A and B are shown apart, each in its own frame.
Chain A
Amino acid sequence: MIRQPDGVSLAALITQENVVFLEGKPSKEEAVRQLTERILPQVSEIIPRKALFDRVAEVEKLNPVLESGFYIPHAKFPDLDTFHAVLGILPEGFVDPGTGTTVKAALLLLSPHKPAFFQRHLNILSLLCQTFQPELVEKLAALKDPAAVIALLQGK
């Protein structure tokens, strides 16, 4: 189990239900749109669909793709009281037009936009970047089902 000292846990954030395989070679925008569609049920009672898609599309342009081949589009919403995430695995990957990096794993993160959650929000980002190193991303891209993804993450 990967945990931050203050209790941030990837296991609590990424469950089997929140892992999705994106087939083919979607564009960056399309990949983010699919992840947003997948996360919508988790937050639909709090955030209207349009507001969610608009905000995520906005941050999609701001959030950089990491050189490890991992991408974390993330947005903060004032009405949220907990963190939500969806992990997308892209076996064939997509090429980020900005950096030329091939992205094979992307995690859409929605965080509460409140000062009390900011430290934990940053801890999650840091922990994700520490965890999703190139070797892990390559291994994840070779997997076939969400259960194996969770098993690999828990084995880290």
Chain B
Amino acid sequence: MVVNPKFKQVFVLSTAMLSFISFWKAASIVLCDFGSSAYYAGGIAMNAFGPAFPWFIMGVMLFSGLMLGVYTESCIMFVRGGVYVVVREAMGKVMAKLSVSALVFDYALTGPISSVTAGLYLGSLLENLLPLLHINWHVPGRTFAVVFALLVTAYFWLENIRGIEESADNNLKIISFVAVVAVILIAWSGFTLYSRGFTLPPFRPVFSEAALGWTVNFPWLRTAGLIGLVMAFGHSILALSGLETLAQVYREIEDPKVQNLKKAVVVIFLFSVFFTGLLTFISALIIPGDLIAGKYADNLLSGLALELNGPYWGRLGMQIAVVVSGVLMLVGAVNTSFVGANGVLNRVAEDGILHDWFRHLHKKYGTTYRIVNIIALIQALIILVSGGNIFLLGEAYAFGVLVSMTFNTASMIILRFKHREEEREWMFPLNFKYNNVYVPVGMMLVLLVLISATGMNLLTKKIATIGGLLFTAVFYTIFHVSEKMNEKKTRLYAHDEDNDEKMNLRREADIHTVVPELTKAHRVLVPVRNPNNLVHLASVLETVEDADTDIIVLSAKISKGIQSGGETMSDEDREVFSAVVLLAEKYGKTVKPIFVFSNDPFYSMAQVAQAAAVDEIVMGVSGSSGAEIQLERLAMAWGMLKKADAPAKPVLARVVWEGRQMTYQLS
């Protein structure tokens, strides 16, 4: 006779996806990519269309506010969003695969363009510092940049295999330091401009031969004023790269999720306008035009520091600060490119269009290391092929960002009509209501700008067009073949073992070994069984404070007979935990999922609740037995397992269903 039935097996789900980050950290991850373009966008734009570049970089930064708005609406609608999910929902899988293929091209370039730029900044600083140390060594700029870029890529490759938490912390430190340097630089620049006076740069772009691309064959295209503006805007839009990362980190943002997203968006926008937009503009006012095009073309902000009013040692000190901050931020962008590409490819894989081989989890760190390995390899190859030429990388850049943003915005417009009944917590402004639809006039205007810039870039940026189309075709083929293989696998095997959420499950001998991991003041136990009946978990996630409450999510599987030790989770069990993880992500709150094999689900609840000394047990209503019987069974299990000398801590048991609940005080 068994008095206190023991669990046959205890599994604890551990995944990086269940830890959440503040809006500061989320903003810093995005900014390390998006904001880092300040270090190279101006120089590349100057190279393309001359001294008018600061107007267009500032214009792109202001436009980023509109794009952030589009992303805010899409992120709120799709927690595990990103361009793939949004486009698939609106336009179907083919278009989604195309847009995500293009986006991966940009992620593949973000790392190299950032790390090479960092190497170039560092090389230019060494050129100034080494003579002061009486070292007569000429730094071979581009070669040095390539070697440095490869080292940085290798470093973040290893970091990302270890997981995102640590990387997000690093990004926040980097952005904080960059902000301090930027404030000093802006203040000093203000003093310089006050002392010297300034002339505003011309507004009319003057294109280089290379920047005209195939339009050299159509002279009328560049003579038209508006087309010229669109062309220059297209050449500046590489400064916008990195926004998609917002969609990738949204799932990681902590509760309250929507409010924190809005805060992150405001931080990102302000930082970008003041850092990228304003500093690029100030550079054009302070640095002589010939130096921007020559000496400082690939290290514009270094040039700004060196051309300020003040003693040389002071300017050199400022250059050191700019280079250190730039190197940190740019290498942060390399990290973000890993995080972003990994996130995008994971979303794609979850939908079955990337073979499961790619999603295999690292045994120790629980990361999708094979995807990280591939990203690292592609980036290393691009760095080598570029030979450290930032303008070549700049020419190839921005294809994906424009394509993905165009698809994303078009999809959000379509969804306004397709999902007209869905309540939106926030909508992009400028709408009018017609036939129950909020017609998105504002987003349509944004789409018009994007389509114009995309079309123009296809004609003017030859390397981006050819490289982007080739890369997109290759990735589209990989996705297509993977999808066919997965379909075949599904047909061959009735039970697809790896279709859903990849999980790291840790086997524990006893529930008591898990209890020390619960460190918060309050504890709530939420038993789950049906992935389609998680109203009770949602109500807990809505109401409890993540900071002071551990939410233990218990799934108990009935396993009759003697203890065998060989039980494993089935597809249905994994489906329950996938739904739990998705819901936790939606609310941005941490949960502790535990899976047990037990003789009786109510014994499991009582046993875990007593072992973990929970304050509350919140159950969903059972369709087969009903709330009263559930509470009776729990009360009986509670009494049976309760020790006579146990402390009389009151525990509230609740059965929750739509709009109702039944409570009982266990004692």
List chain A positions with a Cβ less than 8 A from chain B. Answer: 4-5, 62, 64, 66-69, 72, 74, 101-102, 118-119, 121-123, 125-131, 133-134
**In contact, B3 and A127 (Cβ under 8 angstroms):** no
Which of chain B's residues have a CB closer than 8 A to the CB of A68?
1, 3, 640
CB <8 Å contact, B665 and A129: no
Residues of A within 8 A of B644 (CB): 130
Question: Cβ of A131: which chain B residues have Cβ within 8 Å of it?
Answer: 639
Asked if B444 CB lies within 8 Å of chain A CBs, one says no
Question: Using Cβ atoms and an 8 Å threshold, which residues of chain B touch A102?
Answer: 1
7 A-B residue pairings within 8 Å (CB atoms) = A5-B667, A64-B600, A67-B3, A72-B636, A126-B638, A128-B636, A134-B3
Task: List chain B residues, Cβ under 8 A from A134.
Answer: 1, 3
Q: Are the CB atoms of A125 and B1 closer together than 8 Å?
A: no
Task: Report whether B1 and A123 are in contact in the complex, using a CB–CB cutoff of 8 Å.
Answer: no
With A67-B599, A101-B1, A119-B665 as contacts: A129 and B631 at CB distance below 8 Å:
no
Using a CB–CB distance below 8 Å, which chain B residues touch chain A? 1-3, 5, 599-600, 628-629, 631-633, 635-640, 642, 644, 648, 664-667
Residues of B within 8 A of A129 (CB): 635-640
- Do the beta carbons of A67 and B638 come within 8 Å of each other? no
Known: A122-B631, A122-B635, A131-B639. 20 other contacts (CB 8 A): A4-B667, A62-B629, A64-B633, A67-B1, A67-B5, A68-B640, A72-B636, A74-B632, A101-B1, A118-B664, A122-B632, A123-B635, A125-B635, A126-B638, A126-B667, A127-B639, A129-B636, A129-B637, A129-B639, A133-B640
Q: Is the CB of A125 within 8 A of B667?
A: no
In the bound assembly, the distance between CA atoms of A67 and B600 in angstroms comes to 10
Given the known inter-chain contacts A67-B599, A69-B1, please indicate yes or no for A130 contacting B639, CB distance below 8 A: yes
- Chain B residues near A126: list those with CB within 8 A: 635-636, 638-639, 642, 666-667
Q: In the complex, what's the smallest C-beta–C-beta distance from A116 to chain B, in angstroms?
A: 13
A72 contact set on B, CB distance < 8 A = 636
Q: In the assembled complex, which residues on chain B have CB atoms less than 8 Å from the CB atom of A123? A: 635, 667
In whole angstroms, how far apart are the Cα atoms of A66 and B635 in the complex?
12
Docked Cα-Cα span, A5 to B648, in Å, equals 9
Most-contacted residue by chain A among B628, B637, B638, B639 (CB, 10 A): B639
Kindly provide the distance from the CB of B118 to the nearest chain A CB, expressed in whole angstroms. 66
Q: Is the CB of A66 within 8 A of B667?
A: no
Bound form: Cα–Cα A74–B629 in Å: 11
Most chain B beta-carbon contacts within 10 A, residue among A64, A68, A130: A130
Chain B residue with minimal CB distance to A5?
Answer: B667
Specify which chain A residues have a CB less than 8 angstroms from the CB of B637 in the assembled complex: 129
Q: Which of A101, A126, A129, A130 has the most CB of B within 10 A?
A: A126
Shortest Cβ distance from B476 into chain A, in angstroms? 57
In the complex, A109→B514 CA distance in Å? 38
- A33 CB, min distance to chain B CBs, angstroms: 22
Q: Which residues of B contact A62 (CB under 8 A)?
A: 629
CA distance A123 to B639 in the complex (A): 9
CB distance from A106 to the nearest CB of B (A): 14
Alpha-carbon distance A155/B56, docked complex (angstroms): 89
Q: Which residues of A contact B629 (CB under 8 A)?
A: 62
Give every chain A residue within 8 A of B3 (Cβ-Cβ).
67-68, 133-134
Q: Which residues of B contact A67 (CB under 8 A)?
A: 1-3, 5, 599, 640
Q: Are B636 and A66 in contact (CB under 8 A)?
A: yes
Q: State how many angstroms separate the Cβ of B160 from the closest Cβ of chain A.
A: 49
Report, nearest first, the 9 A-B pairs whose CB atoms are least far apart. Answer: A126-B639, A129-B639, A130-B639, A129-B640, A122-B635, A126-B635, A129-B636, A125-B635, A67-B2
Contacts of A4 in B (CB 8 A): 667
Within the complex, what minimum Cβ distance (angstroms) separates B599 from chain A?
A: 7
* Alpha-carbon gap, A125 to B635, bound state (A): 7
Is B636 touching A125 in the complex (CB atoms < 8 A)? yes
A126 CA to B292 CA in the complex, in Å? 81
- Shortest distance from the beta carbon of A15 to any chain B beta carbon, whole Å: 21
- CB neighbours (8 Å) of B632 from chain A are 74, 121-122, 125
Q: Which of B628, B642, B648, B664 contacts A130 (CB 8 A)?
A: B642
On chain B, the residues within 8 Å of A130 by CB distance are 639-640, 642, 644
Closest to A115 in B: B662
CA distance A52 to B525 in the complex (A): 37
B601 CB → nearest A CB, Å:
12
Kindly list chain B residues whose C-beta atoms are within 8 Å of the C-beta of A127.
639
Q: In whole angstroms, what is the CA distance A106 to B307 when docked?
A: 94
Bound form: Cα–Cα A128–B636 in Å: 8
A95 to B639, CA, bound (A): 23
**Residue of A101, A119, A125 most packed against chain B (CB within 10 A):** A125
Distance (whole angstroms) from the CB of B630 to the closest CB of chain A: 11
B664 in complex: contacting residue of A66, A74, A119, CB < 8 Å: A119
- In the bound complex, residues from chain A placing their C-beta under 8 Å from that of B642 are 126, 130
**Residues of A close to B5: CB separation below 8 A:** 67
Instruction: State the Cβ distance, B152 to closest chain A Cβ, in Å.
Output: 61
CA distance A134 to B629 in the complex (A): 24
* Separation of A122 and B617 alpha carbons in the complex (Å): 15
Q: How far is the CB of A63 from chain B (nearest CB, A)?
A: 9
Residues of chain A within 8 A (CB-CB) of B664 are 118-119, 122
Closest to B632 in A: A125
- Say how far A149's CB is from chain B's closest CB, in angstroms: 20
* Residue picked from B629, B632, B644, most chain A C-beta under 10 Å: B632
Quote the shortest CB–CB distance from A147 to chain B (angstroms): 25
B497 to chain A, nearest CB (A): 32
Q: Which of B3, B631, B636, B648 has the most CB of A within 10 A?
A: B636
Q: With the chains together, A96 CA to B375 CA distance in Å? A: 61
Which chain A residue has the least Cβ–Cβ distance from B631? A122
Q: How far is the CA of A72 from the CA of B639 in the complex (A)?
A: 13
Q: How far is B629's CA from A64's CA once the two chains are assembled, in angstroms?
A: 11
Minimum CB–CB distance for A152 against chain B, Å: 16
CA distance A102 to B666 in the complex (A): 28
Contacts of B631 in A (CB 8 A): 118, 122
- B639 contacts across to A, CB distance below 8 A: 125-131
Chain B residues positioned under 8 Å from A69 (CB to CB): 1
